Structure 1
Amino acid sequence: MHAKQTLEKFEELAGLYERQLERYDMEQLTRSPEKNEWSLGQMYVHLIQSALHMHLRHIESCREPGQQASNETAGSKTEEGLAVFALGALPPIRIRVPASRAYTPSQPESKQQLTEGLQEVVRRMRQIEPELDSIPLSRTAAHPRLGALNAKEWFSLIEMHYRHHLRQKERLDVFLGAE
């Protein structure tokens, strides 16, 4: 898929997430199904923060001359990374990470915070999309599970990540009775 198509698909997804925010009140957005499971609001915060502070940041780092993946898989994807990009999607599995201050997203302060965050991700993606072709594919940044990704792959990963979390959103909608 070309970056322009990826951007269009992402804009559709971000729009869906934003429109559906209207369905929830803050109590619903912050209610968790179980003690160590994220609320719907935390999932939204995760999507916004990972795009802004991980994915887009790595695209920026790929712009830098001499940028190369800095782990043991420097310059290559892991088997999981190869599979993800061959499929064009993250696997339909639940990924559970132990709760921690570093990884567990905070509860949202307001629906406006989430709306503005989604809009900021869209704005940044629109801004960077036309520049992707000028970033050499040899410039990569390491993803902890997928290995070395170039700027276009990091860009595509944002859309895949938002699509992946639709399954979690569906589970949370059932829990909230907001199907």
Structure 2
Amino acid sequence: MNKNMNMNMKTTEALQQFEKTAHHYLMELDIFSMEQLLRQPAEGEWSLGQMVQHLIQSALYMQLRNIDQCLAGNGEAAGNEAEMTPDGKAIFAGGSFPPVRVHVPPSPQYTPVQPESKEQLIQGLHTVMDRMRETLPKLAQAPEHSTVPHPRFGPLNAAEWYLLIEMHYRHHLLQLDRLKDAIGAGVQ
């Protein structure tokens, strides 16, 4: 099997897994009150609503935007010196982020704002799902050498950015479980 066919299968499977995970988030949102969605378990920690905002915003304004740059040929041409970092190689080889908590200090640039409504979160997740579906068929035409650097994983092409979205959503399921415990929802 050639590399392009293999990558197409991976991205198709990633869309299926992504939709499953996004639907899980939607089902979970239905369970919580707005008060619970806004509750922060501790000073400086995100609420469940902020976590979902983070997923939506990172997909729409970082990952999908970078895919669009790669598709348009606006990415950097990756040479031999520009390759994925060891962390990047590890997550792509394993197909997921390691199950460790990543804590970034609160900052206006990184900390998501609290959602205005549950509907905002639901609409945001649906928008990301729509964009993922629209983007999948375009990946086959993406120049593999056109990359956009990820701050931790190095240069990624369009298909790699696409796979990263699914891994990112799945990774935050661990945080979802922690937040559910912290807000006392008692729902598994």
Is residue 128 of structure 2 the alignment partner of residue 121 of structure 1? Answer: yes
> Residue 54 of structure 1 corresponds to which residue in structure 2?
62
> Residue 31 of structure 1 corresponds to which residue in structure 2?
39
1:17 to 15, 25, 32: 25
- SS of 1:65's equivalent? coil
Aligned residues of 1:74 and 1:142 also touching (Cα < 8 A): no
Is residue 109 of structure 2 the alignment partner of residue 102 of structure 1? Answer: yes
Q: C-alpha distance in 2, partners of 1:47/1:170?
A: 15
CA displacement 1:139-164 (0-9 Å, x = unmatched) = 11000000000100100000000000
Q: C-alpha distance in 2, partners of 1:42/1:74?
A: 37
> Residue 135 of structure 1 corresponds to which residue in structure 2?
142
Q: C-alpha distance in 2, partners of 1:88/1:35?
A: 32
Give the CA RMSD over aligned residues: 1.5
> Residue 162 of structure 1 corresponds to which residue in structure 2?
169
Give, in angstroms, the shift of residue 136 of structure 1.
Answer: 1.4
Divergent runs of 4+, >2 A: 64-67
2:181 to 163, 170, 174: 174
C-alpha spacing 1:66/1:41, structure 2 compared with 1 (3 Å): closer
Identity among equivalent positions (%) equals: 50
Q: C-alpha distance in 2, partners of 1:89/1:60?
A: 23
> Residue 150 of structure 1 corresponds to which residue in structure 2?
157
- SS of 1:148's equivalent? strand
Q: How many residues align?
A: 177
Give, in angstroms, the shift of residue 69 of structure 1.
Answer: 6.6
Aligned residues of 1:42 and 1:106 also touching (Cα < 8 A): yes
TM-score (norm 2): 0.90
TM-score (norm 1): 0.95
- The runs of 5 or more residues in structure 1 that have no matched partner are none
1:67 to 62, 75, 79: 75
